[in-house]
Amino acid sequence: MNNPNSRQFIFAVLVISTATSFLVSVLAISFFTGFKPSQVVERVIEKVPGKAPSEKEISERVLRQDELVVGVVKRASPSVVSVVATKDVPVVEQFFIDPFGGDPFFRQFFGGNQFKIPQYRQKGTQKQEVGAGTGFIVSDNGLILTNKHVVADTVADYTVFLNDGAKFPAKVLGRDPVQDLAVLKIDKSGLPAVTLGDSSQTEVGQTVIAIGNALGEFSNTVSVGVVSGLHRSIIASGGSGGSEELQELIQTDAAINPGNSGGPLLNLHGEVIGINTAMAQGAENIGFTIPINRAKRAIESVKSSGRIIYPFLGVNYVMVTKEVRAAKKLTVDFGAFVISGDNTPAVVKDSPADKAGLKDGDVILELGGEKIQLSNTLSQIIQKHKVGDNVALKVLRGAETMNLRATLEERK
């Protein structure tokens, strides 16, 4: 028995025996109790708030996914608000007139004063709700993030309703000129602000939670789903008839209904990873969310300057894809192809791009030393810079590669 090979053999037999016993036990429990081993996969680890981890004690416990969702909703709901738009609308009244002006000749045919036709006229105005959406508190002193289209009406008045029913008039501090985002302010301090996550870490398949004022009527409605796609681009249209292109969106199957616009999309840690903004018509649960990382700059801009400021280059472009490369006979498969659009010039007159010498048909390959590609678009790179930055541009014009410089200006 002192033979090393014999000891190794005995140890191997013990390990196999133990593993076999554990497997048989799990199968037996599954058979008699209905417990499924796959349920273990549905459990995740969450840190217990208020406890600092130490070498002797790891303050973690195992939670089921439904427990996590309930916990996230309880913590986040006080930060989710309803945004209601009201404005003065005409009050119209009906009245009747005699089309013949009381002429005796016609009275003999139409029975005196019995023949009247209806007319309509305005009789003053009255305040009326004209729209509703969702927002969420991003600072304890009353800053609220929502969608731009929720507060698009510049002559309307806006009221924010908190989760406890309290209401406050809201001022629109900034409507984002680039994205479907807006920042509001209410005169209230000590508010529960959400925790902003890192949307760059979002993965397809992860569980997400949407909270919003569904249909403008059912506040703090919760829906749960998964991230079903990343880097989506859509043309979004609203009730006003306008439309805009939205890029780099998160796609989710968590139900997003009218009125959910501007509400948060949260992960299972209770962090906001996106702002719900649109849904696909004629589809089952295909919604789109603006990544929260794209909103952080707008929030910080409002905090520091009181408005949303973005750097501006001044070109209309499409990203170079295989199709664009083939259609335009380009020699590169990356970059931003400068091209005019519907009623939009390729290069805005007197813009930084115009002053730098960019022209219709140019391909911008790099800005500030960063390569422009589908995973790192021209717009994304520009937003990393500040107004006043003088940036280098690497440009392909025909067969010639040239280097230009542009000083970014504030987007109006």
Report the distance separating Cα 318 and Cα 360, nearest Å. Answer: 12
Report the distance separating Cα 318 and Cα 313, nearest Å. Answer: 15
Is-contact 276 369, C-beta < 8 A? no
Q: Is residue 261 annotated as part of the catalytic site, yes or no?
A: yes
Please give the structure tokens belonging to residue 62.
């195992």
Residue type, 391: V
Dihedral sign, Cα of residue 381, residue 387, residue 390, residue 394:
positive
Beta-carbon-side half-sphere exposure of residue 261 (alpha carbons within 13 Å): 26
Is-contact 367 382, C-beta < 8 A? yes
CA 203, 207, 211 angle in degrees (round to 5)? 115
CA 108, 110, 116 angle in degrees (round to 5)? 135
Task: Give the CA-trace dihedral at 137, 299, 296, 280, to 10 degrees.
Answer: 70
Is-contact 411 403, C-beta < 8 A? no
Report the distance separating Cα 4 and Cα 388, nearest Å. Answer: 75
For residue 143, list its beta bridge partners. 185
Distance of CA 7 to the CA centre of its chain: 62
Distances (CA, A) of 180 to 76, 278, 382: 22, 10, 17
Catalytic residue among 79, 82, 176, 180: 180
Q: Is residue 180 annotated as part of the catalytic site, yes or no?
A: yes
Of 178, 212, 189, 172, which Cα lies nearest the Cα of 85?
A: 172
Catalytic residue among 79, 149, 199, 301: 149
Catalytic residue among 199, 219, 261, 301: 261
DSSP letter for 236, please.
E
Three-class SS state of 361: coil
Positions marked catalytic: 149, 180, 261
